[in-house]
């Protein structure tokens, strides 16, 4: 931490808050700069992951797909959620062990196999156990539960995340998160009397609301902070989740050191004392907090009153002194209390139990017991054993308290409650952390008001919500009136240290690789996960709105817990509860809606969604403000994805749920104007068009001959440099000497390959491919290289391009050669043509193919003893040759050669076939090239596709783009203050515009480079849809300025209006759009995914109309003449068909990228 912060301070010379210090010291790259709070995504390296037994099931199921043998960071599983409160702790635990045996065995076995610590049922609640064992100052911990921030009570940045986030960290990937804003809470004074740490967070909830902390860290400081015990601090940070905060944290102090020593971690306390300067904010931050925090809240602990919050929302707060008056005014509240519950992870500390026991002893001394059913949930076995030893438990049971199991129990809805009829309005009081409708007992009519454990204990004795223990009296058994005294100040840790109690922890073996982990296909509790089907590349149109969620829509509403918890490991069975608790604004009914296909009304949402899915109908959900608030349960995203959902469109999202949606491949979209929510009516069919607003290149290819080192490893590193050309799948084929071995999967290069994958890929010859589909859908069968056999032998082939007569060629191969096809991509067509072609050499066979292929291609192939490279006769797709030692490399771009330390030799010529083997390199050019056909390199390679550090036609792409910007400035000058580029592809052009015009260039837009990764969705594109359009503005730079925005192109026109609107909202005085490509009016059929004229903005609108559509003050496109002047194409040499309609070969204007798919049926 100290080392990393030294690096941070060398690049960021400013005072740091405590949250800054912990976050920045965990950066994947401590030298990262340019972070903007609330705008920039950062990559962090957490120290630990904790999983509870419900979300831990899906987390472990996802981790199984990573192919790792152990977790990359320390990880533990905690069995706390599945234990249902029924009678009392020991009996409930025994029944839970029997009922959940299959789940516990799965988690226990998986933990042992993958090196994960296992806390068996009875150990306690995940957050309390983690606080006692794993939390420490300066740490970063992730947990699959929204109340993980409890670790902030010990100075840890502990964050609740979805399972996919946790799995990525477990697999060794960094955690990507929006760098949060900071809310500073300055504490002064000292609590006394009935006031408890719980009242700090209850008061703050009323101040900030349930969404006021979204994408923010709440950092406490000030002289009052040191007066609160470590466990009191933990209560406060635990409930920061109810404000939507990313997490909450306190600075290190002696109270934390005392707790660490009491929990057998004195060595950590000594270390923290030594580095105290790292574990507190810099003095400047506390002296001038307004300069370093985005918002400041002042709380005087000496003046703070005990509070109650609720019902139905943790931000409905008031001092207890106002409760009686509110009861008189609000007829919906019920004064009589039906049950009181204390404990849970939030409030089961030794201090809490001692203060509650003090109140109970006062009642017992006057002959009183609890007036209502009264339950106590110890947070852990350590707490339970200690309060049993020291007498607090006896004090509570003497007034008829029932001690429940060391588990979550009623706090999360695991409560088989007796004595309350369904639908009967009733009041319960708890010291829990969450009180949404139906949260605790499954009954929406139950109203939960939350207070401190000592206040709840007093209310249990009083029996009425209107009872104020600070002022009201009770009647003793002898008829006398008395008032409860404030509980005495209690020790925060036991004088005799904690009693450990029974041992529930099972450490994993040193090597669990031999452990067998099986799941029965007939199980209703556990279901192995399958990869999501990949996106087909088409827009989402005419999607029915499954529901329009009205008002507060929590993850409890989307994915109810309670009786459904038993199915959490079986996604299909669990998804029967989807949206069961959500209020449908169309009908004001919970959980039901209209099936627009069948016309049936009053149908459950899960049933409707399954019907839509069976008919191939995608659907969308409409959400209100702060959609998805509450717990971190990712099932609220998993179930909609499983049942065919494509998007959620909401007024706003809760942080964790928005991340979960994206991780599972659902679009998380917001209304540009939140009031547009009101315009949606039933039936409505939202459309999501043109989720990508840039042209999309489909593939990168590479071939390697390396006699001195592993060709497959070199291919792997080369594919990294070509990743920008395709992100759906990646693959490598290698000649092992015994044949051709292939490893290809869906996903990014870094996901597809692990160390173990290279052992079968031995040999000195290899080819590689990274794909984005323009023919054939995004499916594993289309991942390349593809291997085919034929009379000429075995050939592995990978292609970058598009063959427009592929269907006719495929049908001929089927009819004349009896070929069968397993994929739906034209690459397999070319490969079958090659292995069935006449000729004595591969050059001759490829020439035979060239005679019949129409379109664009850059091929790399692998045979038993050679690698082959071929470029189409028009040179539409790029291909270059490099030399590395005694070996050769062919790649789509020269940046791949640079990445491998190879020397650029030349570009492969149009119509050239190159064969490389142990005898060297030989090449030939197809004679048909000389039959009057000119070269037609795709000009978009220079505008957008190729990396700026690649060279084409002997020129650096970066230089060409800068020249385009200069020409654009000459053609379309404007009087403005600043030039900015759309990051990242337009930066060079924006610099060129600025240099030519004399207008200063600056960075005004920050691109969210967040790329969600999950091992249960192997392709990235669908997740990117929701974030790739999003940019954030540097408001201080933009405000009041006249801005020139330079973009590389406008295709569909979906992103550009969003950018213009962002700049307007940031205060731009004027926004002038300048585009480095001419208007795109014609589809491309040569390997770029813009094959439909109806999608193209400029094909259907004039330039003035486009200016109006995008909302710019002016709009200027680079002319075709100007573009050709820059690239040197005045006399031909480039394909500009997308601008001019002049195609280098005849094309079918309604060509379908899924032609080969449809030919199957």
The residues carrying an active-site annotation are 80-81, 145, 434, 631, 633
Site of tokens 């970063």 = 140
Give CA separation, 655 vs 244, 252, 503, 522, 890, in Å: 7, 27, 36, 36, 45
For residue 744, the cross-strand partners are: 731
Max alpha carbon distance in the chain (Å)? Answer: 115
Q: Where are the beta strands (DSSP E) in 804-902?
A: 855-862, 867-871, 880-884, 887-891
- Sign for the CA dihedral angle at 456, 461, 464, 470 comes to negative
- Sign for the CA dihedral angle at 337, 341, 346, 352 comes to positive
Phi-psi region of 68 (alpha: psi -120 to 50; beta: other; left: phi over 0): beta
- Lookup: tokens for 154: 């010990």
- Lookup: tokens for 602: 């009053």
For 495-515, what is the HEC assignment? CCCCCCCCCCEECCCCCCCCC
70: number of Cβ within 10 Å: 15
Residue 177: partners with Cβ closer than 8 Å, 6 or more residues away: 41, 42, 44, 159, 246
Q: What is the DSSP letter of 724?
A: G
> With the CA atoms of 982, 987, 991 and 994 taken in that order, what torsion angle do they form, in degrees rounded to the nearest 10?
0
Residue 996: partners with Cβ closer than 8 Å, 6 or more residues away: 965, 966, 967, 969, 970
Nearest 5°: the CA angle 150, 427, 303 is 55
DSSP characters over 966-984: HHHHHHS----SEEEE-TT
Helix (H, G, I), strand (E, B) or coil at 427: strand
101: number of Cβ within 10 Å: 11
Half-sphere exposure of residue 76: CA atoms within 13 angstroms, side-chain side: 25
Nearest 5°: the CA angle 298, 470, 201 is 30
Dist. CA 868–CA 226, nearest whole Å? 71
DSSP characters over 1004-1037: -EEE------BTTB---HHHHHHHHT-EEE-HHH
> With the CA atoms of 285, 287, 290 and 292 taken in that order, what torsion angle do they form, in degrees rounded to the nearest 10?
-10
CB 84 within 8 A of CB 416: yes
Q: Closest by alpha carbon to 372, among 316, 334, 327?
A: 334
Give CA separation, 850 vs 44, 846, 873, in Å: 50, 6, 8
For residue 44, the cross-strand partners are: 27, 175
Dist. CA 65–CA 747, nearest whole Å? 13
CB 710 within 8 A of CB 724: no
With b for 16 or more beta-carbon neighbours within 10 A and e for fewer, the 406-436 pattern comes to bbbbbbbbbbebeebeeeeebbbbbbbbbbb
End-to-end CA separation in angstroms for the chain: 60
CB 705 within 8 A of CB 886: no
Half-sphere exposure of residue 938: CA atoms within 13 angstroms, side-chain side: 28
């Amino acid at each position: 931490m100290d080392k990393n912060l030294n690096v941070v301070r060398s690049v960021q010379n400013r005072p740091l808050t405590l949250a800054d210090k912990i976050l920045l010291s965990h950066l994947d790259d401590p030298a990262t700069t340019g972070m903007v709070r609330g705008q920039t995504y950062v990559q962090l390296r957490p120290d630990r992951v904790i999983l509870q037994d419900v979300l831990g099931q899906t987390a472990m199921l996802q981790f199984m797909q990573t192919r790792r043998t152990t977790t990359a960071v320390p990880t533990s599983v905690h069995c706390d959620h599945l234990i249902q409160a029924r009678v009392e702790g020991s009996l409930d635990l025994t029944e839970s062990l029997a009922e959940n045996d299959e789940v516990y065995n799965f988690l226990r076995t998986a933990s042992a196999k993958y090196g994960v610590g296992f806390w068996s049922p009875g150990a306690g609640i995940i957050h309390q156990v983690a606080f006692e064992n794993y939390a420490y100052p300066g740490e970063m911990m992730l947990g699959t539960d929204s109340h993980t921030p409890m670790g902030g009570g010990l100075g840890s940045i502990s964050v609740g995340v979805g399972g996919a986030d946790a799995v990525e960290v477990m697999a060794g990937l960094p955690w990507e998160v929006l760098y949060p804003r900071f809310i500073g809470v300055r504490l002064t004074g000292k609590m006394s009397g009935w006031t408890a740490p719980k009242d700090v967070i209850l008061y703050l909830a009323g101040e900030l609301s349930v969404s006021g902390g979204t994408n923010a860290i709440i950092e406490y400081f000030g002289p009052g902070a040191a007066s609160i015990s470590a466990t009191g601090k933990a209560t406060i940070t635990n409930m920061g989740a109810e404000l939507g905060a990313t997490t909450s944290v306190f600075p290190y102090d002696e109270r934390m050191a005392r707790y660490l020593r009491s929990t057998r971690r004195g060595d950590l306390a000594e270390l923290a004392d030594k580095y105290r300067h790292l574990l507190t904010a810099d003095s400047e931050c506390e002296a001038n907090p307004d300069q370093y925090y985005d918002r400041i809240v002042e709380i005087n602990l000496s003046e703070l009153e005990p509070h109650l919050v609720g019902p139905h929302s943790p931000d409905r707060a008031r001092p207890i002194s106002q409760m009686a008056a509110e009861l008189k005014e609000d007829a919906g509240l019920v004064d009589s209390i039906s049950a009181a519950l204390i404990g849970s992870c939030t409030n089961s500390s030794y201090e809490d139990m001692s203060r509650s026991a003090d109140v109970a002893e006062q009642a017992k001394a006057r002959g009183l017991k609890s007036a209502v059913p009264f339950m106590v949930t110890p947070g852990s076995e350590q707490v339970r054993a200690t309060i049993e030893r020291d007498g607090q438990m006896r004090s509570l049971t003497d007034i008829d308290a029932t001690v429940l199991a060391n588990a979550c129990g009623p706090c999360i809805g695991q409560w088989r409650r007796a004595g309350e009829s369904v639908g009967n309005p009733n009041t319960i009081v708890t010291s829990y952390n969450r009180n949404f409708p139906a949260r605790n007992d499954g009954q929406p009519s139950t109203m939960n008001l939350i207070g401190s454990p000592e206040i709840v204990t007093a209310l249990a004795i009083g029996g009425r919500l209107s009872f104020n223990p600070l002022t009201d009296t009770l009647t003793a058994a002898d008829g006398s009136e008395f008032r409860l005294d404030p509980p005495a100040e209690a020790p925060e840790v036991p004088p005799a240290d904690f009693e450990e109690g029974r041992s529930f922890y099972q450490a994993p073996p040193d090597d669990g690789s031999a452990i067998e982990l099986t799941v029965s296909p007939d199980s209703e509790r556990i279901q192995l996960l399958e990869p999501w089907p990949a996106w087909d590349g088409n827009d989402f149109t005419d999607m029915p709105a499954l529901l329009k969620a009205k008002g507060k829509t929590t993850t409890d509403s989307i994915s109810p817990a309670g009786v459904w918890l038993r199915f959490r490991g079986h996604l299909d069975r669990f998804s029967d509860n989807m949206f069961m608790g959500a209020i449908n604004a169309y009908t004001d009914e919970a959980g039901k809606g209209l099936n627009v296909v069948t016309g049936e009304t009053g149908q459950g949402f899960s049933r409707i969604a399954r019907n839509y899915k069976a008919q191939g109908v995608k659907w969308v959900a409409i959400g209100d403000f702060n959609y998805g608030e509450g717990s971190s349960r990712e099932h609220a995203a998993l179930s909609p994805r499983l049942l065919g959902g494509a998007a959620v469109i909401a007024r706003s999202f809760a942080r964790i749920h928005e991340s979960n949606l994206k991780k599972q491949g659902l679009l998380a979209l917001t209304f540009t104007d939140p009031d547009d929510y009101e315009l949606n009516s039933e039936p409505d069919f939202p459309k999501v068009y043109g989720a990508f607003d840039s042209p999309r290149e489909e593939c990168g290819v590479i071939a390697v001959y390396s006699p001195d080192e592993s060709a497959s490893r070199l291919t792997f590193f080369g594919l990294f440099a070509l990743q920008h050309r395709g992100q759906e799948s990646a693959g490598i084929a290698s000649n092992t000497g015994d044949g051709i071995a292939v490893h290809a999967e869906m996903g990014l290069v870094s996901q597809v390959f692990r160390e173990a994958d290279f052992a079968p890929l031995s040999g000195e010859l290899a080819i590689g491919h990274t794909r984005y589909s323009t023919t054939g859908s995004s499916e594993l069968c289309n991942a390349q290289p593809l291997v085919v056999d034929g009379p000429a032998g075995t050939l592995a082939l990978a292609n970058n391009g598009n063959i427009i007569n592929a269907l006719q060629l495929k049908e001929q191969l089927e009819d004349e050669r009896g070929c069968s096809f397993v994929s739906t991509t034209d690459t397999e067509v070319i490969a079958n043509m090659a292995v069935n072609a006449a000729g004595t050499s591969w050059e001759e066979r490829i020439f035979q193919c060239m005679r019949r292929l129409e379109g664009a291609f850059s091929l790399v192939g692998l045979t038993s003893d050679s690698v082959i490279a071929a470029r189409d006769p028009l040179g539409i797709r790029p291909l270059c040759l490099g030399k590395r030692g005694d070996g050769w490399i062919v790649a789509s771009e020269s940046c791949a050669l640079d990445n491998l330390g190879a020397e650029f030799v030349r570009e492969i010529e149009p119509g050239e076939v190159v064969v490389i083997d142990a005898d060297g390199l030989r090449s030939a050019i197809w004679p048909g090239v000389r039959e009057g056909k000119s070269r037609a390199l795709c000009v978009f390679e220079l505008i957008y596709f190729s990396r700026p550090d690649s060279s084409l036609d002997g020129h650096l792409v970066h230089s060409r783009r800068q020249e385009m910007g200069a020409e654009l400035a000459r053609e379309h000058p404007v009087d403005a203050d600043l030039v900015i580029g759309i990051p990242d592809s337009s930066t060079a052009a924006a610099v060129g515009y600025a240099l030519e015009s004399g207008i200063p260039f600056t960075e005004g837009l920050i691109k969210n480079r967040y790329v969600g990764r999950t091992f249960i969705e192997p392709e990235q594109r669908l997740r990117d849809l929701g974030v790739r359009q999003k940019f954030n503005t540097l408001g201080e730079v933009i405000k009041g300025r006249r801005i020139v925005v330079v973009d590389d192109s406008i295709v569909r026109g979906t992103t550009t209006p969003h950018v213009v609107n962002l700049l307007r909202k940031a205060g731009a005085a004027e926004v002038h759009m300048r585009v480095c490509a001419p208007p795109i009016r014609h589809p491309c059929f040569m390997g770029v995914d813009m094959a439909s004229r109806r999608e193209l903005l400029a094909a259907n609108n004039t330039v003035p109309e486009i200016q109006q559509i995008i909302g710019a003050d002016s709009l200027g496109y680079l002319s075709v003449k100007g573009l050709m002047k820059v690239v040197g194409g005045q006399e031909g040499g480039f394909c500009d068909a997308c601008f001019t309609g002049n195609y280098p070969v005849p094309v079918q204007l309604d060509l379908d990228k899924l032609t080969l798919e449809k030919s199957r049926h």
